[in-house]
Amino acid sequence: MRVGGRPLKHWIGTKVQSWGAKIANKNKHIVVTNPSCKLFNPFTLVVNFTVDNVDKYQVVLQGDYKKIYKEVGDNIPELTERELFLIISENKKEWFKKE
C-alpha cells in the first residue's frame, strides 16, 4: 500500500537541484508492508507494520474490544489485510517508530 505523497510536487522537487530535494523527500509516497495486529487486553489493539522495507512502526489503538477479545483464543483478531491498511492509513499521525 502506498500512503500519502504528491506526485507533481515530487516530480518538481527532483527536477530542481537546490531546494528541490527537500520538496521531493517531503512529497514522496510511503510504502507500507507486512501488517499484523494483536490484542494485548480487551481495550488495546496494536498494529505492527514496515515502512519502505526498512523501518518498523506500530499504531496503538485504545477502544472497547471486549467482544473480539472473548472470541479470539490466541489474541490475534481476524482482520483482513485491507482492514489493517485502512487502520494504518487513517491513523498516520499516531505512528510510533519501534527501535
- Looking at every residue in the chain, the average pLDDT score rounds to 84
CA-angle at 79, arms to 28 and 40, nearest 5°: 95
Where do runs of H (alpha helix) occur along the chain? Answer: 7-15, 20-26, 66-71, 81-90
Q: pTM of the full predicted structure?
A: 0.73
Per residue in 12-39, pLDDT (tens digit) is 666 666 666 666 667 778 899 999 999 9
* Section 51-60 average pLDDT: 92
The residue ranking higher by pLDDT, 99 or 6, is 99
